Every structure is written in C-alpha cells, then in structure tokens.
Amino acid sequence: MKLMQLLAVGAIVLTAPAALADKKSEAYVEAQANAVLKVLNDKTLTSDERSAKFADYMHKFAYMPDIARRVLGAQGRSLSEAQFDRYYKTFEEYATEVYQAQLDEFRGESIKVVGSTDPAPRRSQVNTLIKSTESGKDIQVVWDVLQSKDGQTYRVRDVGINLDGSVIWLAQDQQAQFESFLDRNNGDIDKLIDRIKQMIADMRERAKAGAASTLAKSTSKNPG
C-alpha cells in the first residue's frame, strides 16, 4: 500500500510541471481565441473596423514577421531587408484576409479547450473544440504555441484544423504552396508578391459581390 502511495505521489510530482505548463498555454489559447471570435461576431463594427481589429489580434496572438519568413522556406533566409519588407507588407494583408475568412466559419461560437501536450521545452499543442456555424459539427482545432523565455507570454506558430482525422496546418500548408510557387518561378519573390496581390484583390472583389448579393436578397425579402 505504501509503495502504491509513493508511486502515486512520485507520478504527481513528475507530471506536475508539464501539467502546469499545459494549463497556462491552454488558458492563453482559450482567452485569445475567444477574443478573436468575439470580434468576428461584433455586429456593432463595420466590415473595415472588424478587419482592422482582427489584424490587431492576429499581431497579439501570433508574431507575423516570423510566420511570414517561415512560409517562404529556405528563400526566407536569403532575401534582402528591402525585399522582405516589400513581401511582408503584402503577406500581412493576405494572411489577415485568409485567416479571417477561415475563422468566419466559426462566427458566433466559442472555443473550448479539451487538452494539450508539450512536445518540447517552451512548446505546446493545445487541442480545442469549436462548433462550425456552417455544418453544426464540432471541429477539432489544434494550436501550436511557443512560450516566451520568461514564461509570461505565448505566440501561436500554426493552427491545425482536424478534418475527419486529417489535420490541415494553415502555416505549414501555406509554406508548401509558397515554396512550390517560388520553385516554379526561379525563386522570384516579386512574382510571388504580384500573385499574392492578385489574390487579395480577387478575395475582396468576391467579398464585395457576396455582401451585395446578401443585401439584394434581404431587400427582396423585406421590400420597402
């Protein structure tokens, strides 16, 4: 009996630091993710205000320059400062548009933390569940989080969405696409910047068309 108690105490002592680290990163993800969702759901904001606030949260939640550099793969290390600045400005706009569109699926819902693991020192993967507004299904969203040196703050490196057992990591997938594009265009960063700009313009055009068609539908339903 004593041996069992000792083993139990030993197990608790050994697992306590990891569990504590998990709880802190879990609380961080839950608070920040729900704050972002609240912004998406805030009906008092205009579309531009919502985008601006969303971009602010993206900067608090993640460190965008690091993500921007990482998604370029090996090319990210060989760019001049001027090239990187030019690319970063475009990437930031693109990431805000894309992530806002991705998270819009969960508008009006809140995130619930269901557990986490610490795969390496200062790193956590936080598992959360959120209901999709479109399908009504609970979707598992995994947050790859880094802890600061002083243990006081966190940064999100990547977000994974589990679709029937297959996790799509947004930044990792973006990296695969950017690397492939650069490979096929002799590493020409300006071609990538032009392509991203084109995509931003297309996304905004479609968002405008979508908003106009929604407005037209609601006007025809409630004439006068």
Minimum Å gap between C-beta 5 and other proteins is 33
Minimum Å gap between C-beta 28 and other proteins is 14
Tokens 């995994």 -> residue? 142
Q: Which is nearer to other proteins, 44 or 186 (CB)?
A: 186
Minimum Å gap between C-beta 95 and other proteins is 11
Q: Which is nearer to other proteins, 110 or 169 (CB)?
A: 169
Q: Is 137 left (phi over 0), alpha (psi -120 to 50) or beta?
A: beta
> Which residues have CB under 8 Å from 109's CB, separation 6+?
37, 130, 131, 132, 133
Q: Which of 166, 127, 118 is nearest to 33 (CA)?
A: 127
Q: Cα–Cα distance between 43 and 102 in angstroms, integer? A: 18
Q: Which is nearer to other proteins, 180 or 219 (CB)?
A: 180
Strand order in the sheet with 154-163: 112-120, 123-131, 138-147, 154-163, 166-169
Q: Which is nearer to other proteins, 38 or 107 (CB)?
A: 107
Q: Which is nearer to other proteins, 153 or 219 (CB)?
A: 153
Q: Cα–Cα distance between 78 and 87 in angstroms, integer? A: 13
Instruction: Indicate the SS3 state at residue 107.
Output: coil
Q: Are strands 166-169 and 138-147 parallel, antiparallel or unpaired?
A: unpaired
Minimum Å gap between C-beta 109 and other proteins is 18
Minimum Å gap between C-beta 119 and other proteins is 4
Interface residues with other proteins (CB under 8 A) are 63, 66, 69-70, 98, 101, 117, 119-120, 122-123, 125, 140, 142, 144, 146, 148-149, 153, 155, 157-158, 160, 162-169, 172-174, 176-178, 180-181, 183, 195-196, 199, 202-203, 206
Q: Cα–Cα distance between 192 and 90 in angstroms, integer? A: 10
Angle of the 2-41 helix axis to the 47-61 helix axis, nearest 10? 150
Q: Which is nearer to other proteins, 42 or 148 (CB)?
A: 148
Minimum Å gap between C-beta 53 and other proteins is 21
Q: Which is nearer to other proteins, 9 or 148 (CB)?
A: 148
Helix (H) or strand (E) segment spanning residue 130? strand 123-131
Minimum Å gap between C-beta 149 and other proteins is 7
